Amino acid sequence: MRVLGIETTCDETAVAVVACDEEGRGSILSNEVLSQIAQHSAYGGVVPEIAARAHVEALDRMVARALSKAGCGLGDVDAIAAAAGPGLIGGLLIGLTTAKTLALVARKPLIAVNHLEAHALTARLTDRLAFPYLLLLASGGHTQLVAVRGVGDHLRLGTTIDDALGEAFDKVAKLLGLAYPGGPEVEREAAKGNPERFALPRPMLGRPKPDFSLSGLKTALRIEAEKVAPLTATDVADLCAGFQAAVVDVVEDRTRVALREFQEKVGHPPTALVAAGGVAANGALRDALGRLAGGAGLRLVAPPLELCGDNGVMIAWTGIERLRLGLTDDMTVPARARWPLAELEAPPVGP
Interface residues toward Zn ion, by CB under 5 A: 139, 310
> Which residue, 195 or 312, is less far from Zn ion as judged by CB?
312
Query: How far apart, in whole angstroms, are the C-alpha atoms of residue 119 and residue 99?
Result: 19
Between the alpha carbon of residue 311 and those of residues 166, 216, 320, the distances in Å are 17, 31, 15
Least distance (Å) from Zn ion to the CB of residue 310? 4
Query: How far apart, in whole angstroms, are the C-alpha atoms of residue 64 and residue 57?
Result: 13
Query: How far apart, in whole angstroms, are the C-alpha atoms of residue 279 and residue 237?
Result: 19
b/e code 28-43 from CB counts within 10 Å (16+ = b) = bbbbbbbebeeebeee
Query: How far apart, in whole angstroms, are the C-alpha atoms of residue 54 and residue 8?
Result: 10
Please, which of residues 263-282 interact with ligand KG4 by CB under 6 A? 277-279, 281-282
Residue 187 interacts with ligand KG4 (CB under 6 A): yes or no? yes
Phi-psi bin for 154: left (phi > 0), alpha (psi -120 to 50), beta? beta
The binder of 169, among ligand KG4, Zn ion, none, by C-beta within 5 to 8 A per type, is ligand KG4
- DSSP-H helix ranges across 107-196: 115-127, 165-175, 182-190
Residue 153 interacts with ligand KG4 (CB under 6 A): yes or no? no
Residue 152 interacts with ligand KG4 (CB under 6 A): yes or no? no
Please, which of residues 286-345 interact with ligand KG4 by CB under 6 A? 309-310
Only one of the segments 68-76, 175-183, 208-216, 339-347 lies at the binding site for ligand KG4 (rule: CB under 6 A); that segment is: 175-183
The binder of 187, among Zn ion, ligand KG4, none, by C-beta within 5 to 8 A per type, is ligand KG4
> Which residue, 86 or 158, is less far from ligand KG4 as judged by CB?
86
Query: How far apart, in whole angstroms, are the C-alpha atoms of residue 24 and residue 275?
Result: 22
Residue 203 interacts with ligand KG4 (CB under 6 A): yes or no? no
Q: Applying CB under 6 A, which residues contact ligand KG4? A: 10, 139-141, 166-167, 169-170, 181-184, 187, 277-279, 281-282, 309-310
